[in-house]
Chains A and B, each alone.
Chain A
Amino acid sequence: MPINLDVNNSSQVASASLIQFDTGVANQQAVIFSGVAIPSFGSNDDSQIFRDTVIVNFRFTVLAVVEETVSLGLASISNNDSNFVFATDTGSLAIDNTSQELLLQVDVAVSGSPSALLRFGYQVVVIATTQVTGISGTIRFSKDVFDASQITADQVSQLFLVSADTQIELPPPPGGLFGQIQNNPVAFGALTGMTTNGDDFDVTYNIPGAPYNQQLVVIVQAGPLFTPSQQTLTGQTGGPIPLVLTVATPSVSGVDFRIVNSNLR
């Protein structure tokens, strides 16, 4: 059973970062992923070696990998007065067949009584064939909800947090009647600008790199600079719910939202 880690979860991958740059070849990007994965893989027996595979989901979609280099190293290990083994044996890249997300697969081994391979560092340099993907739209609110006229261009990015999430329906707890929906953010967006239209403010956003072939919903949350005086409600007014990106349709636009006062007292 592999140990699955998500770079969007800081308790699974610390200091996850990437930089990407152009190679000069159309539809190709060079991307460098770095981070400290936290498999917390332990052993309570120093008479045998335990092995497993750690899969780190970079949450980055590609069509194909052209070239790649994987570097790994032990970052956090612990032992208590016993024989021990700690190993990151092999590292390789894979592409999720469904979502087209890039995955780092690392075979690890540990032995000890007890021992723990708590963390390992990784650095992956990859040239990949990519496709511009994106979910875009507008978040609209009126001056009655929040007067954003004093917000500068540099501050617009702090008005909202936008993400594309997958959703899992959790069953009701034992004895309970209602389940709940758990959102799992898989791609984060950026606010790209703000315009005014009468008494309305229109904030545009774009979410790049969301996974393919998965049902996604866009979630808009208030950022630190969006401080309305009343409680508000956010509703989606345009675009599909849920939406699905495919290789044939890698972008969806017009996923719009409106924020209104809730008028609940």
Chain B
Amino acid sequence: MGSTPVNVFLPQVTRIPIVGPAPFNTLDCCTSGGLTSVPGAGAGFTTRGQVRAISRFVLEGFDQRVAPNFQHSTSGWLAQIGPSEEDDWLYAIDSIADAGFDPASGTFFVDINLAVQYGQVPSQFLTGGLEEFVYAVYVCSYVLVNEPPLSQPQGQARTALATFQPPRGFPRFAGTTPGPLFTRTATGTPIRVASPVPVSQLVRCRCECDCCRKQKCVTHQSKKRRCNCTCDCCRS
């Protein structure tokens, strides 16, 4: 069985020559995103924060002494969320806060305002005192810039690793408790977050009554549902 040759072009930056308006001569389309987290976020409360998504777009001809002249149009979407089991949850890209070029490297970045309230994590996702949250976002930017003509062979453009980092001035979040740093991986395994609520308080009831079915009886949930169980976990 033969294989079909596949050409893979990386990084994912598209440069489109344009004729204006001056001084712009190039429209760059770039994406960034991946798994992220908001410091202090957990189940039962909403936390807002800002993350910086760093693209693979490096401005050709970047000079640290000159602020790049650019215009951008950027939006974002949720890419992955969960898991959650019978609980309140919120995953939000509230807005695109800012965009620009890193003053040291000339790499294009986007600052994103996020909000999240994780749901109760099903027991099978709880491992060793950690909760497995998945929260991934994706942004796409079109950027008008002026770049010098290509000075190197096609396919050997400068590259940078797309990732998330805290924005300048970190921390700029409204978390309630100290939380983990942002993930630095664009793709990969779910984020492991130490819960602000001890795991021992999250899932422990094994009651089989209606209100506690599915082995999900967190104390505050039981109260909310007016649980009348007499087991230890539901009496408190």
Q: How far is the CA of A80 from the CA of B89 in the complex (A)?
A: 6
Given contact pairs A22-B19, A71-B140, A123 touches B90 in the complex (Cβ within 8 A): no
Contact indicator B75/A81 (Cβ below 8 Å) = no
**Chain B positions 70-92 with a Cβ under 8 Å from a chain A Cβ:** 71-78, 81, 86-92
Contact indicator B87/A81 (Cβ below 8 Å) = yes
Contact indicator B77/A73 (Cβ below 8 Å) = yes
Contact indicator B144/A17 (Cβ below 8 Å) = no
Q: Collect the chain A residues with CB atoms within 8 Å of residue B97's CB.
A: 15
Partner of B92, one of A80, A118, A122, A123: A118
| Nearest B residue (CB) for A74 | B78
Contact indicator A21/B73 (Cβ below 8 Å) = no
Contact indicator A122/B75 (Cβ below 8 Å) = yes
Q: Collect the chain B residues with CB atoms within 8 Å of residue A34's CB.
A: 73-75, 96, 140, 142
Q: Collect the chain B residues with CB atoms within 8 Å of residue A123's CB.
A: 73, 75, 140, 142
Q: How far is the CA of A118 from the CA of B92 in the complex (A)?
A: 8
Contact indicator B71/A19 (Cβ below 8 Å) = yes
B171 within 8 A of A: no
Q: How far is the CA of A23 from the CA of B19 in the complex (A)?
A: 7
A222 within 8 A of B: no
**Chain A positions 76-134 with a Cβ under 8 Å from a chain B Cβ:** 76-81, 118-123, 125
Q: In whole Å, how far is A18's beta carbon from the nearest beta carbon of chain B?
A: 6
One digit per residue, 1 when the CB lies within 8 angstroms of any chain B CB and 0 when it does not, for chain A 58-75 equals 000000000000011111
Contact indicator A121/B144 (Cβ below 8 Å) = no
A50 within 8 A of B: no
The listed residue with most A CB atoms (<10 A of its CB), out of B27, B75, B97, B138, is B75
Q: Collect the chain A residues with CB atoms within 8 Å of residue B91's CB.
A: 76-78
**Chain B positions 46-79 with a Cβ under 8 Å from a chain A Cβ:** 71-78
Q: In whole Å, how far is B134's beta carbon from the nearest beta carbon of chain A?
A: 14
B93 within 8 A of A: yes
One digit per residue, 1 when the CB lies within 8 angstroms of any chain A CB and 0 when it does not, for chain B 89-112 equals 111111111000000000000000
Q: Collect the chain A residues with CB atoms within 8 Å of residue B27's CB.
A: 19, 21
A176 within 8 A of B: no
The listed residue with most A CB atoms (<10 A of its CB), out of B71, B95, B117, is B95
A161 within 8 A of B: no
One digit per residue, 1 when the CB lies within 8 angstroms of any chain B CB and 0 when it does not, for chain A 201-235 equals 00000000000000000000000000000000000
Q: How far is the CA of A36 from the CA of B115 in the complex (A)?
A: 14
Chain B interfacial residues counted at CB < 8 A: 34
Q: In whole Å, how far is B117's beta carbon from the nearest beta carbon of chain A?
A: 8
Contact indicator A21/B78 (Cβ below 8 Å) = no
Q: How far is the CA of A120 from the CA of B77 in the complex (A)?
A: 7
| Nearest B residue (CB) for A33 | B73
Q: In whole Å, how far is B91's beta carbon from the nearest beta carbon of chain A?
A: 6
Q: How far is the CA of A33 from the CA of B96 in the complex (A)?
A: 13
Contact indicator B73/A17 (Cβ below 8 Å) = yes
Q: Collect the chain A residues with CB atoms within 8 Å of residue B74's CB.
A: 15, 17, 34
Q: In whole Å, how far is B70's beta carbon from the nearest beta carbon of chain A?
A: 9
Partner of B78, one of A23, A75, A122: A75
Name the prevailing secondary structure of the A interface residues. Answer: strand
Q: In whole Å, how far is A53's beta carbon from the nearest beta carbon of chain B?
A: 20
Q: How far is the CA of A119 from the CA of B92 in the complex (A)?
A: 8
Given contact pairs A34-B75, A121-B76, A15 touches B140 in the complex (Cβ within 8 A): no
Contact indicator A17/B20 (Cβ below 8 Å) = no
Contact indicator A19/B142 (Cβ below 8 Å) = yes
Q: In whole Å, how far is B108's beta carbon from the nearest beta carbon of chain A?
A: 14
Partner of A21, one of B21, B87, B89: B21
Q: Collect the chain B residues with CB atoms within 8 Å of residue A79's CB.
A: 88-89
B18 within 8 A of A: yes
Q: In whole Å, how far is B92's beta carbon from the nearest beta carbon of chain A?
A: 4
A24 within 8 A of B: yes
One digit per residue, 1 when the CB lies within 8 angstroms of any chain A CB and 0 when it does not, for chain B 193-215 equals 00000000000000000000000
B45 within 8 A of A: no
Contact indicator A73/B138 (Cβ below 8 Å) = yes
Q: Collect the chain B residues with CB atoms within 8 Å of residue A18's CB.
A: 73
A243 within 8 A of B: no
Q: How far is the CA of A19 from the CA of B24 in the complex (A)?
A: 11
- Which residues of A are in contact with B by a Cβ distance under 8 Å? 14-15, 17-24, 30, 32-36, 71-81, 118-123, 125
Query: What are the nearest 7 A-B pairs in CB distance?
Result: A73-B77, A76-B92, A14-B95, A15-B96, A34-B75, A78-B90, A34-B73
Known contacts A15-B96, A15-B97, A75-B78; 10 further A-B pairs (Cβ under 8 A) = A14-B95, A17-B74, A19-B27, A19-B142, A21-B144, A30-B18, A36-B75, A73-B78, A75-B76, A81-B88
